[in-house]
Structure 1
Amino acid sequence: MSLLNKKVRIIILSVLTVILSVSFLGSAKASAATTVIPDISEWQGKLTASKVSNLKSQVSFIINRRQYGANYQDKYATNNTNLYTKYGIPFGEYDYATFTSAASAKHEANVFYQHSNKNAKFYVLDYEENDVTSGSTNSAVKAWYNQMRSLTGKKLIFYSYQSFATAHANTARKSFDAQWIANYSSKPTIQTDLWQYTNKKYVPALKESVDASTILNSSKPITWWIGGAQSADTSTPTYFTSAVTSVTTTKKIYLYDSTSFKKSHRVVTVQPGTKVSVSGLQKRSTGSYYFETADGRYLTANKNYVQ
């Protein structure tokens, strides 16, 4: 091969390398843009149809503030969530907690659910300030959870920053379906399914920087948060494998008079938040487990339905 041909070949290969690199980086940026998970409140203003239409290609889903305690509804929550629904953006809603007791937490949960957009994929307790003056903070958080669980079978998420979560809700937070933890300096060291890693993520459609999060728990991918066939609720059940004396339902379930769990064998409907005493745990040949009650009835041991 002549020296000239070698030079031409080198130039061609260099140009192709640049083209492929630009193409790859462009694709990577486009992919990364869709993984943004922002949380939005009235501080971002009243969103327009144009903003939300553009936002659709830039986010995986949105977590929108519905209220600041029971006495203050976010100015633009209804407008914004209606637009998310119109343009097909999945979203959850959060309640920034200001409750002062277990009774107050129950009331706050009622108000939150009443005002929420029922197209929300999940509901969040944003617990990051301690206003509890009666009883313990853990009992207040659990009261909020129990009340919401009695109202909906959708996923309930606990949010806080790491140090506050461990100091004020270290037991109650574990009842929730997932934990969303804020820690801007490094990855959280407690159980974290969704990590709020920054408050300065620029979102082009909004033309401003916002709080943003990313998935940490691979067993709860984006599909788990927004529903779909690959949701952990349907594809990856986990079971109690050791005996306990009671469980509390997190969704509506049934007691059966047969271990086959066919619809025709349902004898009792059990609402979310109900404590059920159990006397035994059995394993099927398929690998699933179920509980037996003292009076000879049966219920699921799937941790997506009982805790």
Structure 2
Amino acid sequence: MTTSIDDLRFFHVVASSETLTAAARELQCSLPVVSKRLSALERRLDARLVHRGTRRLVLTSEGELFAARLEKILDQVRELEDLVTHRSGDLRGSIVVQATLGLGRAHVAPLLGEFGARHPELTVRLRTSALPLRPHRHEFDLAVHVGTPPDSSLRMRRLAKNRRVPCAAPSYVEQRGMPERIEDLAGHDCIVLRENEGDFALWRFGDARNPRQVRVRGRLSSNDGDVVTGWALQGHGVIMRSEWQIRSHLESGALVRVLPDVPTPPADIYALRSDDVHVPRRIGELIKYLAARLPDRIAGSAYGSPATSASRSMPIDFAGTAP
């Protein structure tokens, strides 16, 4: 018996999941059904695809090879579907989007809702996570990422400019004083955001020609950006946060810039996808939509409300990297 397209799509979900239980939720069936179907596929291929007995789903070498090759086959199927779809003008199929927690909730989710409403034949799924991107697990069709992508194999397009800036509540500055040099931050209460797998306590300043950094310390840390910002608003310390999130607090005076004359490296917002030759039309159209609306939305929002000029369109070509 040959392997069907449904089998390939089934294993694609399995290979993209943290556990078989998560795969069962994604497939909307029971865990025993998933386990039985996986075993049947392994018998048909005469190869073990998944290691049993581990808390997290781990693919065997055969499973990794099968997942990588089937991705190309499914892309060819999607390309054929796109060719048919293009003739009718409607967008069909599905898109899995991954985004960081804060940006995903505040801006990506509303924009995806608008995009989905415009294309009722399209299924859009958003996954928000504080975990780092793992492109080799084939977990997303498109990722919206803040800062330099962790994987150079990904193709990227800048959606909006952004940078991280240090700031604190006026009450904290009044009590502890305003840092005058980058090195002064080492003696302040700094609230760190533990995201991804980087060195979260190392704050970077300067530019490519004159990079500078300082290791900070503090009593409070979290992997949730909203929590970190909330602590800063309460006067508990200095934070290094993206402009898109704290702009409204700076404009209202609830937070003040720390070291305002010291530049910080850019942390632009990118659309990321795997390095495939073919970009499905539905994904290309979504990238255009995000690029047209995200910059004005984050520039004119009070953390989540779209700017009045959000209808401005901006053409985008996903053939190369962003400027």
Q: Same fold (TM over 0.5)?
A: no
Query: Radius of gyration: which is bigger?
Result: 1
- Larger helix fraction of residues: 2
TM-score, structure 2 as length reference:
0.25
- The higher-RCO structure (CA 8 Å, 6+ apart) is 2
- Larger strand fraction of residues: 1
TM-score, structure 1 as length reference:
0.26
